[in-house]
Every structure is written in structure tokens, then in C-alpha cells.
């Protein structure tokens, strides 16, 4: 059960965010509406939402998930691998101290983005990606071990982040796309396969009684609904333009 979430309102500078998507610039007003819908959806899931002010210094700072790993037993401040995003952790550290008096932290030369970390009960999958290096992943694994969590490192081939192509819904149900569809590390799960033309929908989130899914991915929505989950579908077009998904927009704990 999640009781809390942290989000950060978008700033006008969001149009300058990092992207490889080639889908054009996001529209600020539309993104603001979509972000408000996201906050309302979290509330509908029964979560108390802390809404941080926009941080115009960091265009990507609405993607708060990359700044920390929050668990029942500990929180770890990350060390984002994109130089333009690294300073986002400074304020998040202050914010998280309210909820976690003792914070762990990934240190250089290790880098790590929270989007590369997938929790499955007491086990963590840690993507080694363009943003998360091997050193950062090993540091996180060592920190988690102190709290009796186990972990597996997963080198990525194509995706920006691990959670770009995978989501855990609970009950052994794993939503998988692309390079994770037949990945040996995930062989023991029950897979919900996302078709290549709906790849973006693999970044969905289970929040208590609901699975929140991007709007417009009907095949994936049906598969998840058929697996017994109640859906909330949200427009995400503007965040997609910035390589951002549903998980990226909050820290949930
Ligand atoms: N635009 C989100 C990221 O690249 O981290």
C-alpha cells in the first residue's frame, strides 16, 4: 500500500527538457493540465500528495522519480547521470528528510537515476543504462542489502531507463515491452506483453487499487484489465515528448 506521493509542478522551462523522442516541443498549458490530472489520479488511489513548487533551474525536475529510491525501510538519494539534472537532488534531499530522517546517497563516480530501479516486493532490479553506471548500481545494491533487500543488476540495450519498458503490478504480474519481453532475468513472472506500437504504455504504475496507464493504448489497457486490474487512463502526450512516463512523475511510498 502506498500512502504518500511527492510530485513537482512543471515549470515553463519544461520545453527545454532532455529528449530523444522527436515528437516536438511540449505545450506548457496542456502539460499543466495533464499534470493536474495526474495529481488527481494519485488522490483517487488514496495517496496523500505533496506538491512541490516548480523549479525553473531544472527543466526536467518534474520527473522526480529519478532523484531518489523510496522504500518502506529506507530512502536513497540518487545521483542522476545527466549533468543537467544532477542538481535536482539537492532540494529533494531536504524534502525527503521530513519522511526519512536518515537518508542514504549514491556517490560519484557512481551515477544512478531512480527510473532505473524497479521494486518487486523485497527485491530490486537495477538497470545499468546511459544514466546509471555499474558503480552506481553496485552502490545501490550494497545500500539495499543493509536493509535486507536483495537486488539484480540488469544491463540495458535500448531503453533510456529500466522502467521505460517494464512495470510490476503485483501478484507476479509484470508488464513488459521490447528488450524485456524475453529477458531471462524476468523469466519467472507472469508477463503482460506490450506490443511494439504501444511500447510507451509499458511505463504504467500500480497504486493501491488501480493501475494508472497512459491514455490511448487500447490493446495494453485491455490486457491489464483482463488480468483483473481497475484502470485509470491519463493523457500523457506532453510528457512523452520528453521521454517521460507515468512512473517518472512521482515518488510513491
Ligand atoms: N526528459 C527526461 C530525462 O531525459 O531524464
Q: What is the CATH number of the domain that holds 114?
A: 3.75.10.10
Distance 84 CA to ligand 1 centre (A): 10
The maximal CA–CA distance of the chain, rounded, in angstroms, is 44
Closest ligand 1 atom to Cα of 131: 5
Q: What is the pLDDT confidence band of residue 113, given thresholds at 50, 70 and 90?
A: very high
* Section 17-36 average pLDDT: 97
* Number of independent structural domains in the chain: 1
Report pLDDT digits (tens) over 187-215: 999 999 999 999 999 999 999 999 999 99
* Section 59-80 average pLDDT: 98
Q: What is the pLDDT confidence band of residue 131, given thresholds at 50, 70 and 90?
A: very high
Best substitution site from 16, 60, 62, 78 to test ligand 1's pocket, by max atoms within 8 Å of Cβ?
A: 60
Give the 3-state secondary structure of residue 201.
helix
Residue in the block written with cell 507515468: 246
Range of the domain at 176: 4-252
The torsion of the CA quartet 209, 99, 120, 185, rounded to 10 degrees, works out to: 140
Cα 198 from Cα 133, distance rounded (Å): 28
Cα 63 from Cα 65, distance rounded (Å): 6
Q: What is the pLDDT confidence band of residue 86, given thresholds at 50, 70 and 90?
A: very high
DSSP strand pairing (103-105 vs 117-120): unpaired
For the whole model, what pTM was predicted?
0.97
Q: Strand pairing partners for 234?
A: 214
Distance 78 CA to ligand 1 centre (A): 15
Q: Is the CB of 60 under 6 A from ligand 1?
A: yes
Q: Is the CB of 126 under 6 A from ligand 1?
A: no
Cβ(207)–Cβ(231) under 8 Å?
no
Show the CA angle centred on residue 40, arms to residues 38 and 44, nearest 5°.
Answer: 115
Q: What is the pLDDT confidence band of residue 218, given thresholds at 50, 70 and 90?
A: very high
Cα 38 from Cα 232, distance rounded (Å): 10
Q: Which of 86, 88, 136, 128 is nearest to 108 (CA)?
A: 136
Report pLDDT digits (tens) over 147-186: 999 999 999 999 999 999 999 999 999 999 999 999 999 9
Amino acid at each position: 500500500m502506498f500512502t504518500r506521493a511527492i510530485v513537482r509542478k512543471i515549470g515553463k522551462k519544461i520545453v527545454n527538457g532532455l529528449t530523444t523522442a522527436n515528437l516536438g516541443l511540449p505545450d506548457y498549458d496542456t502539460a499543466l493540465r495533464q499534470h493536474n490530472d495526474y495529481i488527481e489520479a494519485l488522490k483517487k488511489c488514496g495517496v496523500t500528495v505533496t506538491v512541490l513548487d516548480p523549479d525553473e533551474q531544472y527543466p526536467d525536475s518534474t520527473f522526480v522519480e529519478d532523484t531518489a529510491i523510496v522504500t518502506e525501510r529506507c530512502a536513497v538519494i540518487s545521483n542522476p547521470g545527466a549533468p543537467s539534472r544532477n542538481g535536482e537532488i539537492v532540494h529533494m534531499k531536504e524534502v525527503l528528510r521530513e519522511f526519512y530522517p536518515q537518508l542514504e546517497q549514491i556517490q560519484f563516480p557512481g551515477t544512478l537515476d531512480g527510473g532505473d530501479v524497479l521494486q518487486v516486493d523485497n527485491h530490486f532490479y537495477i538497470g545499468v543504462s546511459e544514466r546509471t553506471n555499474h558503480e552506481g548500481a553496485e552502490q545501490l545494491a550494497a545500500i539495499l542489502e543493509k536493509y535486507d533487500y536483495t537486488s539484480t543488476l540488469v544491463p540495458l540495450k535500448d531503453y533510456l531507463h529500466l522502467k521505460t519498458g517494464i512495470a510490476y503490478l503485483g501478484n507476479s504480474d509484470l508488464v513488459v515491452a521490447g528488450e524485456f519481453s524475453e529477458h531471462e532475468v524476468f523469466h519467472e513472472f507472469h508477463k503482460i506483453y506490450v506490443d511494439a506500437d504501444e511500447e510507451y504504455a509499458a511505463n504504467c504504475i500500480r497504486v493501491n487499487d488501480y493501475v494508472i496507464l497512459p491514455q490511448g493504448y487500447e490493446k495494453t489497457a485491455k490486457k491489464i484489465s483482463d488480468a483483473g486490474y481497475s484502470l485509470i487512463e491519463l493523457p500523457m502526450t506532453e510528457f512523452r515528448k520528453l521521454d517521460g512516463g507515468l512512473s517518472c512523475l512521482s515518488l510513491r511510498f
